[in-house]
Structure formats: C-alpha cells, structure tokens
Amino acid sequence: MKKIIKGNIFIIFALSLMVLAFAIESPARDDDAEYAAMIESGRKVYEVRCLLCHGENGDGNGLAGIIRRAERNGRILEIYPRDLAMGVFRFRTTPTGCLPVDQDIIDIISNGVPRSFMPSYKHLPREDIKAVREYIKTFSFRWEEEEPCEPISVNRPVWAGNPDSVRKGRKIYKEMKCGECHGYTGKGDGPKSNDLKDDQGKQILPFNFTTGNLKRGSSPENVYITFTTGLDGTGMPSYEDSLNEEDRWHLVSYTLQLMKKGE
C-alpha cells in the first residue's frame, strides 16, 4: 500500500488539489446557474413589460419614444423612458452618487412613477419583479464596479406637519434658495427653472409643488428622502450635508402644505 502511495504521490497530490478546486468552485457554479436562470427569467419579463419603452438595450430608445405633455403653466414637458444603461437612478434611499439598494428598484417597478407614464407592476409575482430587477442591472457596468452604499434611515418626528414646523420650513425654503428653481411660491417657475438639464443634456422642469404628486410618492417620508438624497441625473441636489435632519423635516412640513397635503 505504502508503495502504491509513494509511486503515485504526484497523482494523489494533483487529484487532491483538483477536488479542492472543484469544492471551492462548485457552490459558485450553483450560484451561477441560479443567477443565469434568474437573468433569463428577468429578460422574458423585461421583453414583455419594459422593452417597448426602455428599449432592447435598456437605453430608453424603445418604440414608444418621447411623450409630450403640457404643464398647467403652459410649458411643455418632454417625458422619455429612463436610460437604464447609464446606471443613474433618481429615486433611491442611498446618498447622492450611490447606486440604489435592491428594494429601491423593487419599489419603482411595483409602484410605478406618477406623471411619467411608468405604470405600476404591483400585480406581477414577486419573483418576476426580483428577476427583472437583476436583468436591469446587466445594462450598466456600475453594478460590477461600485460598492453598495447604506440606505439613509428615515425617522419621521411627531411634530412634522404642525403649524410651527410649517413656519420654520417656509423660512428654510427661502434660506436654502429653493425658490430659485421651484419658484418663490412653489410653482416651479423660479428664475433658474428654464436652465436645467438632465444627464442626457435634455431640458427638464423643476417640480411645481402646487400641481400634483411627487414622482417618487408624496408621503412625508418620500419628500424627506428626496431632499436628502437629491435626484441624481436631474438638477435637484442633495441637502444631506447642507441641512440637519430637523431642518429637513421642517422643509417637508412646508412643502407638504404647498402640495396641500399638510395637516
């Protein structure tokens, strides 16, 4: 027996290494197979539900094209499908410059985006939404290159929306010069409102608080997270480093009143 072992020591060593290598590799291969199946499933959902607007390569050049809509103030708003290949996401719970967390994408797919023609897909099976989320990630290298960021925690204070907070929020709105874009009365008609462009160099309009719901949703938490994270890819900057948490909630109180959603 010893002779056999001695004579074939190299073979035994090599085989041991191979077994070790495959032992290391095999869980990854299982994961790979699972991931490939998910991507394939996501591709199928995407082709049926998303491709018409977002295009085959996720670049927003689907057959649907640009939709033009007149705003109440007479300005024309061009709405076009999001270019997913750029890897820029407006509606995140992560700081400016970060990729969204998985739940952020699920929220957009599930809830849709009001005023943008992005419908809600709440009725789809959860597994389909997860699969299409993973498929969307294949359009941009950002998902491979960048480390994930922690989402920002949102803790709504009990006083949010009360008259004192609204009054403080009005002062902060002025001090933060929100009116330069959003207008001094929140109608989206500030002196800089016609100069704003998005990441694709296309003109965009600042939100008119008096006309409707925020695209990401108009709950106090959604308004708070919008000020905090900014809307990457648009002119809306992040106020996370410019305003403390309390002042951001006062601003929420005031802007909810502008939207006629205050208490």
> Residues in the site for another protein, rule: CB under 8 A?
10-11, 13-15, 17-18, 20-22, 24-25, 28, 86-88, 95-97, 146-147, 175-177, 179-181, 184, 191-192, 195-197, 199-201, 230, 232-233, 235-239, 241-242
CB of 150 to another protein, least distance (A): 13
Show Cβ contacts of residue 189 under 8 Å, excluding neighbours closer than 6 positions. Answer: 73, 183, 208
**102-133 burial by CB neighbour count: b if 16+ within 10 A, else e?**
eebbbbbbebebeebebeebeebeeebbbbbb
Query: Among residues 95 and 114, whose Cβ is nearest to another protein?
Result: 95
CB of 205 to another protein, least distance (A): 13
CB of 101 to another protein, least distance (A): 16
DSSP-assigned letters across all residues of 93-119 = SSPTTSPPPHHHHHHHHHH-BTTTTB-
CB of 143 to another protein, least distance (A): 13
Query: Among residues 25 and 47, whose Cβ is nearest to another protein?
Result: 25
d(CA 63, CA 129): 22
Structure tokens at 257: 């009143």
Query: Among residues 61 and 110, whose Cβ is nearest to another protein?
Result: 61
Helix axes 126-137, 9-49, angle to 10 degrees: 110
CB of 114 to another protein, least distance (A): 22
Query: Among residues 45 and 252, whose Cβ is nearest to another protein?
Result: 252
Query: Among residues 42 and 87, whose Cβ is nearest to another protein?
Result: 87
